[in-house]
Amino acid sequence: MLLDCIIVGGGPAGLNASLVLGRARKNIILFDEDKPRNGVTHESHGFITRDGTTPSEFKRIGKQELAKYPTIAIKNEKVEDVKKENDSFLIHTEGGDVYRSKKIILATGLKDVLPNIKGIEEFYGKSLFSCPFCDGWEWKDQALAVITENERAFHLAKLVSNWSRNLVICTNGKKVLSNEEKEVLNNKQITIMEDRIAALQGNNGQLEKILFNNGKELLRNGGFVTADLVQATSLPEKLGCRFNAIGGIDTDDFGRTNIEGVYACGDNSLIAPAQLIIAASEGSRAAIGMMSEFVEEDF
Ligand SMILES: Cc1cc2nc3c(=O)[nH]c(=O)nc-3n(C[C@H](O)[C@H](O)[C@H](O)COP(=O)(O)OP(=O)(O)OC[C@H]3O[C@@H](n4cnc5c(N)ncnc54)[C@H](O)[C@@H]3O)c2cc1C
């Protein structure tokens, strides 16, 4: 059977793209390996009507809403490989099944690569976070650290200071702040520690202390880190998608990539702030963009 579209990735981007295409009477399958980027967190914030929902509940509601449309099938399975053959796409799943579709939407998300600091994974998503818009409110006025090894240090420090002025910037031995930037932060009573971090200490994901190689210790309740962002899957590369300067899949405003019939939306295009609601809206835009192509092909 030739499907109208296969959507890879069931985060907010893929769920919303599925909803719009399914309601437009296109026969689609949504494949989801169910490893969302925010899976490490207890609650997600900032999505109106869903503020404070767990990532798994968010996804459960999304899939339940899709289930009422006979045009949409959902498979909780990884897509292993995808190939363009003439005017259609051949999809191989991890379980060894093969599907064919006219078009494809990649809503595959990103993965966070955390700084190489002992113990950091234990705290990520529980008391260390990446985005103050997502988690700043819950940590307002707390003793926070910004742990960063890259040039985003200055921007993140200024941003996080909006939620707490009790802030220490830890660069883990890296010289990522200029003298001018240090002066600006010092003037706001924000401390900078450029010492190498030996380990993070705490209990059940709750950060308590940062230990430094030189024996110094810093008591902190939580904070924010800058992670490196990488594509969650090699499928865009396999299809020949072009990437932008910061590693996102290059798309136009409606999610079209350089490969005809291939659309991308959500975090993986790295063109907008990484937010659930923005990913969902990009999924909707990609589906609407694809529909105008379907309509043109019909006439
Ligand atoms: C710690 C943390 C906390 C966050 N908190 C918030 C918050 O509170 N509010 C907020 O708005 N944003 C938050 N975010 C950002 C948010 O998680 C992302 O912006 C959002 O998840 C992006 O949605 P997406 O659909 O593009 O990708 P994702 O949600 O990552 O979904 C991608 C899906 O595709 C699947 N997938 C990938 N490859 C394949 C494949 N080959 N086959 C099948 N399935 C595949 C994955 O398993 C996953 O389920 C947070 C991020 C992090 C890291």
pLDDT, position 44: 95
| Cα-based distances in Å from 126 to 120, 131, 143 | 11, 13, 15
pLDDT score, position 271: 82
Helix ranges (H only) for the chain are: 12-23, 55-67, 120-123, 132-135, 153-160, 179-187, 235-239, 276-298
CA atoms of 46 and 76, how far apart (whole Å): 26
Q: What is the pLDDT of residue 168?
A: 98
- Residue 226: C-alpha distances to residues 112, 120, 221, 242, 270 (Å): 9, 12, 17, 25, 15
CA angle 135, 16, 74 (to 5 degrees): 110
CA dist 224 to 28, 132, 147, 162, 244, Å? 39, 7, 6, 13, 26
Q: Tell me, in angstroms, the distance from the centre of ligand 1 to residue 81's CA.
A: 20
For ligand 1, atom 2: residue with the closest CA: 38
Q: Which numbered atom of ligand 1 lies nearest the CA of 31?
A: 43
Residue 65 tokens read as: 């809403």
> How many angstroms does the Cα of residue 243 sit away from the middle of ligand 1?
19
Q: How far apart are CA 158 and CA 89, in angstroms?
A: 46
Whole-number Å distance, alpha carbon 296 to ligand 1 midpoint, is: 32
Counting atoms of ligand 1 from 1, which one is nearest the CA of 265?
Answer: 26
Blockwise average pLDDT, block size 10, the chain, 299 residues: 97 98 98 95 96 97 98 98 96 98 98 95 97 97 97 95 97 96 96 97 97 98 96 98 96 97 97 93 98 96
Measured from CB, residues less than 6 Å from any atom of ligand 1 are 8-14, 31-38, 40-41, 44-47, 78-79, 107-109, 112, 125, 129-131, 134, 232-233, 235, 266-267, 274-277, 279
Amino acid 272: pLDDT: 81
Ligand 1 atom closest to Cα of residue 9: 34
Choose among 155, 144, 131, 151: nearest CA to 45. 131
For 250, the 3-state DSSP assignment is coil
Residue 135 CA, closest ligand 1 atom number: 8
